[in-house]
Structure 1
Amino acid sequence: MRRFSQVDVFTAEPLRGNPVAVVHDAEGLTEEQMRRFARWTNLSETTFLLPPTTAEADYRVRIFTPAEELPFAGHPTLGSAHAWLEAGGVPHTPGRVVQECGVGLVELQRGERLAFAAPPLLRSGPASAQDRATVRAALRIPDEDIVDAAWVDNGPGWLGVVLPDAAAVLALRPDWAAFGGIELGVVGAYPDPGPGEPAVEVRAFCPSLGIVEDPVTGSLNAGLGQWLTGTGALPPSYIASQGTALGRAGRVHVERDGATVWVGGDAVTVVRGEVLL
């Protein structure tokens, strides 16, 4: 039996964010065992905590969707760090956690809430004409509704799409057969948000990863934050709402500090026990 946690991420209220399954002390499990368990949980991601392979890291994590392994993902990063700390993990440096994963080392800060430093984009730049055609077909929208579109891929393969406003994001009814293997992250602004209110609504569509729509997505918000705070389309500090269309209330806190974009969120453990693996 191995220790197990299920953590709701990007919410302080249970059952309102995005859950991640975390298997502690996963050393000795084969990749096939990890894949099988991730398919069984049927959550957007399942993670496995392992000893680090470098002295710089506090722990190592492997991240699986029901369909494949990911080199990086945001809500599993926050949820795994939360579970590791709650289980008694002691970081090398107080106030700082270093996670080792497929993209390398990811730094997390421990403040009012955990926040990770967005890793460098593996692919960036404007969407091609063919990409835009796929977006139009997949989202069932005319080209004039695409305010901007660019690659914001930090591992999962995100193509970011800006729509005219949050209402347009919430109104989407995608054509799942038209995605062609592309993972789409869509964002639209709310009019005149007050202090502490979301500035944007985000939705994440990733059918090729075995997830039709992800409730709340750290990696996507990291890529969108790097892109849109970099161009000035969004302010250096803002809150993103995600999961509204699925009955969730995720809140993602994005803040640019110089060249680094920090992505933070609350987390709460909903299930704690043991798993037979």
Structure 2
Amino acid sequence: MTLLSNRPSRRFLTLDVFTDSALAGNPLAVVLDADRLDDVAMQKIAAEFNLSETVFVLPPEDIAHRARLRIFTPTQELPFAGHPTVGAAVLLGLLDGAPTGSFTVEERVGLVPCEVAITGDGVGEATFSLPRLPERVGALPEASIIAAALGLVDSDIGFARHVPAQYSAGSPFALVPVASRAAVDRAANMKVGWDAAFGQVKRGSAFIYCSEPVDPAHRFYARMFAPSLGIGEDPATGSAVAAFAGAVMDHETLGNGEHRIVVEQGYAMGRPSQIVLTLTVADGALAKATIGGKAVLVSEGRLFA
């Protein structure tokens, strides 16, 4: 028996992204056949799902591209985000039915080329090239102000050559290096003092990281807080790692060639995620950067809205 069978509906699916295990990684809702939804309806639906992001798939403006994506948090639209791009790309690859594929999706930040490989039943991997290379876009306040906003002490802030700063690859983030994984795990949004530390960053999102991963084969361990987006803590944030590529270029010593860096996120939430950042360096400068990861289908349904 199908309830509400006479009401108009559209298909949606959920995936867990930056993992190949259901109920890990970062959950994502993808709404198909969204071309008849207006901005207000999309925002209300994203609030209803109440996940970090919800993606709406629309026909592309250029038929040479695979689809146009619009990305919403529970409170606002984003021009670009990593886990929605990876998850939507894997879903589009699953719908296409081919084991591998290459296509371009349209996002508000610009065109995003994607490479997809289907690796199992409802499981795939996607990599996308950053539509905009990262850049340092501003400073952050002194360590004592940042530490107070995160419930840390001044000595927890910074390690090696890494210092706090604002970076963006389409979406801006406060990037806060922290001395140890224990300090990253102690960090919290203290609310009082948050605006003083991060209010100058558009959307006030803070990506906190250290160089002590859980898996020694990986490179960094991170958490991300975005209270102004309706996201207390995000299990995996590809757009933050895209911005973080700028900090890696500024503070690490990378020779020419390709560098694969795995960033762990979500472990403190019980949602372990692995985000693969690949940097191509030529003549000492960043020539290309990609974000990649796996995604697994979790649920499918009909949206009566």
The TM-score, its normalising length taken from structure 2, stands at: 0.81
Summarize the alignment of residues 227-242 of structure 1 with structure 2, pairs less than 5 Å apart: 227-232=247-252, 236-242=259-265
Q: Is the 8 A contact 1:206 1:214 kept in 2?
A: yes
Aligned to 1:212: 232
Distance 1:249 1:128 in 2: 28
Summarize the alignment of residues 173-192 of structure 1 with structure 2, pairs less than 5 Å apart: 173-180=188-195, 181=199, 182-190=204-212
Q: Is the 8 A contact 2:266 2:272 kept in 1?
A: yes
CA deviations over 1:112-142 (Å, ceiling 9, x no partner): 7211112325762452436x55422311233
Distance 1:119 1:20 in 2: 21
Aligned to 1:265: 293
| Structure 1 residues 89 and 59, CA gap change in structure 2 (3 angstroms) | farther
Judge which range, 80-89 or 25-34, deviates more: 80-89
RMSD of aligned Cα (Å): 2.3
Measured after TM superposition, the shift of residue 246 of structure 1 is: 0.6
Distance 2:97 2:132 in 1: 27
SS at match of 1:129: coil
Structure whose CA Rg is larger: 2
Aligned to 2:4: none
SS at match of 1:87: helix
Measured after TM superposition, the shift of residue 84 of structure 1 is: 1.8
Distance 1:29 1:50 in 2: 10
The TM-score, its normalising length taken from structure 1, stands at: 0.89
CA deviations over 1:153-212 (Å, ceiling 9, x no partner): 234431111111222211213302322242100110117964xx3221110000000001
Aligned to 1:101: 107
SS at match of 1:116: strand
| Structure 1 residues 234 and 170, CA gap change in structure 2 (3 angstroms) | farther
User: Percent identity, aligned pairs only?
Assistant: 36
Aligned to 1:66: 74
Query: How many residues are aligned here?
Result: 271
Aligned to 2:20: 12
Structure 1 spans left out of the alignment, 5+ residues: none
1:142 to 132, 153, 178: 153
Distance 1:205 1:186 in 2: 8
Structure 2 spans left out of the alignment, 5+ residues: 1-8, 120-124, 282-286
Measured after TM superposition, the shift of residue 237 of structure 1 is: 1.5
